[in-house]
């Protein structure tokens, strides 16, 4: 019987190989399914793949001595590799071939007992995001209270990441399967599914990235009952589709959404498909972006080393800036201590270029990254990577990851927590890096280095005195602090922390900052009340956009007495339409500037025809505006009432 099953598996493998050439031409996802080292029900297992019309798969089994599948000459030609194996021996050459998958961008789907593979290879655990460690390496399969397994368990599976492509459309379900407990899970994974079963380890599945590849692990999948479970089959199928980075085999990557947080991944993908498909509706906006990208190509690199003054630390690698609204004291001979004149910018601040550079650099990087993402032209990615390395990575020019000397007030202090408002542009950087993911100019070492920098900066924001001061701010400074830490945490896959920040924003930001009638009193008290009201609302809308990534709905959150983002928008609307006269202070004169982006967001997020009409009236972008690329089809559909 075993020989018969082996022959069936061999014939299946050969049949799949015969279709490999067809997969190249018909657009199917080319999948290598790897087994070996553990028995399984072959026929129902392989049916999961043969029944999937979107893929063309090849079955391959390791030899009994080592991970021989990784010796295949065609290994890097696949879009996705599925691991349902459990070998323990792997040569150095096979390790190198396996790791080459992630330089190429080949997706990896890891199933069930593959969590137990390569007990003596620590890097494998990091790659797949976890490890089941055998309690007794000399007796594989040993079960203890600390770690073990049990067959034939009926349990429920709960969807954790309801907005993730791997779990999209799935609801909680039941399954008859094997459970594990005592396995380790990395701190950089995105949990996808879990269970309430008291014995089972948690989560039951997760996603992460490795190099240029997407990786998922699903603990489910021991036998026939699981293989025939419709929900498990859908998880596997959608996991293959999500990890299928077709650029890894030289094909189009059009189906892969970029890893962004404040930008809209779906809208970006739509825009790219339309641009690359030769659509003319976005031609003016695309031409304008290319013009700006060309200017960025010609721009000089900037760094914190450009300043001629030295911070109090004596290290020019430290960021340094001066508080903008403070001026020399006319009552003292030396002008110290400086005094506050709210809303009036002191031109002295321009003598220290760090502030201007940290605002301008992210704009250039994102412009270049968008040009690369839409066009695939490597020259844009190359320049973006140079900007990023100069500011964050190169030893001679990198910025130390803290803001201790930001917005200093001469004669009063050497820096303040308020200065963290100046790092808000770094949220554009983490989105831009997601657009560069497929570029050969942005390497795995670059990615690791940038993640290390942001991890250190986020730690400083959370633990330093200045960082804690800014976190406690009740006005727009607190809003933009939350926006930054949530964005950076998502970039670092610290999902639990990001989720907590956004959940707390309901009571900490919306309920505190917005009155039941929509006024923002802390912003209305400023000398530029309109500017600060629209800026803070923009920050709150950014928090709501980040909330979409972790299923925290801030768009529709409302306190019992009616405080909400929508109410704050409604308060500003009649002024923007000039139906009411702005009666609050606004140095430099009032204009509806700053309202158009808010109106576009409201039209997208709130199901009310009035907002669509409002967006058409005050926020309809010019044909050359970048908004046409960032919000292409959705705004148009909403405006048309569809």
3-state SS, 554-594, equals CCCCCCCCCCCHHHHHHHHHHHHCCCCCCCCCECCCCCCCC
Instruction: Summarize pLDDT for 402-441 with one digit per residue, the tens.
Output: 999 999 999 999 999 999 999 999 999 999 999 998 888 9
pLDDT above 70: residue 612: yes
Residues near 531 by beta carbon (within 8 Å), at least 6 away in sequence = 586, 593, 594
CB atoms within 10 A of CB 641: 8
pTM (two decimals)? 0.67
- Per-residue pLDDT, averaged over 363-373, amounts to 97
Share of the chain above pLDDT 70, in %: 92
As a whole number of angstroms, the distance between CA 483 and CA 288 comes to 28
- Judging by DSSP bridges, how do beta strands 405-408 and 173-181 pair with one another? unpaired
Dmax (CA) for the chain in angstroms is: 99
pLDDT of residue 107: 94
Residues near 441 by beta carbon (within 8 Å), at least 6 away in sequence = 378, 381, 382, 384, 385
Instruction: Summarize pLDDT for 46-95 with one digit per residue, the tens.
Output: 999 999 888 999 999 999 999 999 999 999 999 999 999 999 999 999 99
Per-residue pLDDT band for 21 (boundaries 50, 70, 90) equals very low
Residue 140, SS3 per DSSP: coil
DSSP state, 528? B
Instruction: Summarize pLDDT for 30-57 with one digit per residue, the tens.
Output: 999 999 999 999 999 999 999 988 899 9
Q: Tell me the three-class secondary structure of 353-402, residue by residue.
A: CHHHHHHHHHHHHHHHHHHHHHHCCHHHHHHHHHHHHHHHHCCCCCCCCC
Task: Write the Ramachandran bin of 343: left for phi over 0, alpha for psi from -120 to 50, otherwise beta.
Answer: left
Higher pLDDT, 257 or 332: 332
Domain boundaries, the chain: 2-249, 293-472, 595-642
For the ranges 20-29, 296-305, 486-495, which has the lowest average pLDDT? Answer: 20-29
Task: Write the Ramachandran bin of 27: left for phi over 0, alpha for psi from -120 to 50, otherwise beta.
Answer: left
For the ranges 82-86, 140-144, 578-582, which has the lowest average pLDDT? Answer: 140-144
As a whole number of angstroms, the distance between CA 329 and CA 338 comes to 5
- Per-residue pLDDT, averaged over 552-571, amounts to 97
CATH class entry, domain 293-472: mainly alpha
pLDDT above 90: residue 442: yes
- Report residue 216: phi and psi, to 5°: -130, 155
Q: What is the residue-averaged pLDDT of the chain?
A: 90
Q: Is the peptide bond before 337 cis (omega within 30 degrees of 0)?
A: yes
- Per-residue pLDDT, averaged over 185-189, amounts to 89
Listed in order, strand segments (DSSP E) in 197-289 are: 205-210, 213-218
Per-residue pLDDT band for 634 (boundaries 50, 70, 90) equals very low
Per-residue pLDDT band for 256 (boundaries 50, 70, 90) equals low
Residue 285, SS3 per DSSP: helix
As a whole number of angstroms, the distance between CA 83 and CA 69 comes to 11
Beta bridge partners of 177: 153
pLDDT of residue 180: 96
Beta bridge partners of 176: 154
Q: Is the peptide bond before 409 cis (omega within 30 degrees of 0)?
A: no
Q: Is the peptide bond before 621 cis (omega within 30 degrees of 0)?
A: no
pLDDT of residue 26: 54
Q: Which CATH code is given to the segment(s) 2-249?
A: 3.40.50.880
DSSP track, 42-99: HHHHHHHHHT-TTEEEEEEE--SSS-GGGG-TTGGG-SEEEEEE------HHHHHHHH
- Per-residue pLDDT, averaged over 20-31, amounts to 62
Burial letters for 612-627: b for 16+ Cβ neighbours within 10 Å, e otherwise? Answer: bebbeebbebeeebbb
Higher pLDDT, 412 or 140: 412
- Report residue 483: phi and psi, to 5°: -60, -45
pLDDT above 90: residue 580: yes
| Helix H or strand E segment including 243 | helix 230-243
pLDDT of residue 10: 39
pLDDT of residue 434: 93
Per-residue pLDDT band for 6 (boundaries 50, 70, 90) equals very low
Higher pLDDT, 305 or 169: 305
pLDDT above 80: residue 254: no
pLDDT above 90: residue 236: yes
As a whole number of angstroms, the distance between CA 235 and CA 642 comes to 31
CB atoms within 10 A of CB 353: 19
| Helix H or strand E segment including 6 | helix 2-18
pLDDT above 70: residue 96: yes
Residue 215, SS3 per DSSP: strand
As a whole number of angstroms, the distance between CA 101 and CA 105 comes to 6
As a whole number of angstroms, the distance between CA 128 and CA 257 comes to 21
Residues near 530 by beta carbon (within 8 Å), at least 6 away in sequence = 575, 582, 584, 586, 590, 594
- Per-residue pLDDT, averaged over 570-582, amounts to 95
Instruction: Summarize pLDDT for 276-313 with one digit per residue, the tens.
Output: 877 777 889 999 999 999 999 999 999 999 999 999 99
Radius of gyration of the chain (CA): 27
Q: Are 186 and 125 in contact (CB under 8 A)?
A: yes
pLDDT of residue 344: 95
- Report residue 406: phi and psi, to 5°: -85, 140
Residue 107, SS3 per DSSP: strand
């Amino acid at each position: 019987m075993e020989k018969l099953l082996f022959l069936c598996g061999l014939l299946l493998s050969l049949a799949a190989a015969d279709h490999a050439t067809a997969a190249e031409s018909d657009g199917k996802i080319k999948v290598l399914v790897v087994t070996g080292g553990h028995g399984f029900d072959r026929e129902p297992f392989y049916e999961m793949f043969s029944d999937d019309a979107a893929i063309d798969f090849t079955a391959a089994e390791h030899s009994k001595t080592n991970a021989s599948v990784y010796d295949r000459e065609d290994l890097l030609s696949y879009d996705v590799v599925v691991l349902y194996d459990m070998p323990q021996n792997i040569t150095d050459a096979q390790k190198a071939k396996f790791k080459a998958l992630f330089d190429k961008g080949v997706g990896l789907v890891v199933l069930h007992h593959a969590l137990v593979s390569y007990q003596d290879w620590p890097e494998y655990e990091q790659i797949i995001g976890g490890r089941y460690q055998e309690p007794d390496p000399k007796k594989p399969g040993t079960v203890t209270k600390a770690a073990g397994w049990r067959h034939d368990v009926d349990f429920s599976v709960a969807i954790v990441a309801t907005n993730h492509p791997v779990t999209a459309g799935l609801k909680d379900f039941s399954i008859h399967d094997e459970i594990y407990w005592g396995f380790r899970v990395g701190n950089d994974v995105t949990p996808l599914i879990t269970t309430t079963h008291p014995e089972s380890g948690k989560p039951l599945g997760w996603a992460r990235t490795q190099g240029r590849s997407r990786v998922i692990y699903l603990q489910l999948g021991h036998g026939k009952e699981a293989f025939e479970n419709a929900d498990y089959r859908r998880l596997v199928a959608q996991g293959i589709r999500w990890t299928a980075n077709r650029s890894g085999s030289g094909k189009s990557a059009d189906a892969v959404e970029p890893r962004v947080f404040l930008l809209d991944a779906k809208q970006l993908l739509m825009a790219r498909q339309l641009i690359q498909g030769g659509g003319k509706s976005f031609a003016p906006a695309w031409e304008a972006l290319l013009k700006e990208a060309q200017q960025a190509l010609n721009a000089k690199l900037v760094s914190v080393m450009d300043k001629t003054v030295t911070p109090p630390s004596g290290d020019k690698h430290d960021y340094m800036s001066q508080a903008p609204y403070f001026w020399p004291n006319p009552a003292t001979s030396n002008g110290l201590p400086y005094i506050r004149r709210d809303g009036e910018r002191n031109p002295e601040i321009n003598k220290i270029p760090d502030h201007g550079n940290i605002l301008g650099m992210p704009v250039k990087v994102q412009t270049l990254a968008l040009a690369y993402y839409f066009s695939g032209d490597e020259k844009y990615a190359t320049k973006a990577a140079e900007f990023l390395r100069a500011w964050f990575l190169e030893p001679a020019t990198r910025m130390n990851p803290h803001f201790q000397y930001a917005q200093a007030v001469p004669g009063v202090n050497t820096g303040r927590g308020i200065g963290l408002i100046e790092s808000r542009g770094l949220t554009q950087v983490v989105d831009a890096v997601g657009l560069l993911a497929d570029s050969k100019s942005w390497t795995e070492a670059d990615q690791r280095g940038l993640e290390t920098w942001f991890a250190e900066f986020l730690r400083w924001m959370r633990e330093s005195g200045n960082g804690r001061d800014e976190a406690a701010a009740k006005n727009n400074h607190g809003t933009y602090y939350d926006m930054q830490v949530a964005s950076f945490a998502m970039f670092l896959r610290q999902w639990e922390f990001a989720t907590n920040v956004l959940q707390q924003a309901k009571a900490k930001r919306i309920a505190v900052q917005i009155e039941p009638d929509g006024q923002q009193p802390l912003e209305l008290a400023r000398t530029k009340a309109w500017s600060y009201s629209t800026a803070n609302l923009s920050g709150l809308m950014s928090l709501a956009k980040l909330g979409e990534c972790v299923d925290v709905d801030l768009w529709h959150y409302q306190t019992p007495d009616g405080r909400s983002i929508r109410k704050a928008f409604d308060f500003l609307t009649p002024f923007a339409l000039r139906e009411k006269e702005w009666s609050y202070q606004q140095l430099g004169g009032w204009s509806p500037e700053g309202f158009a982006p808010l109106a576009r967001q409201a039209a997208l997020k709130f199901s009310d025809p009035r907002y669509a009409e409002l967006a058409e009236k005050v926020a309809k972008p010019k044909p050359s505006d970048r908004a046409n690329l960032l919000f292409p089809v959705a705004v148009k559909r909403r405006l048309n009432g569809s």
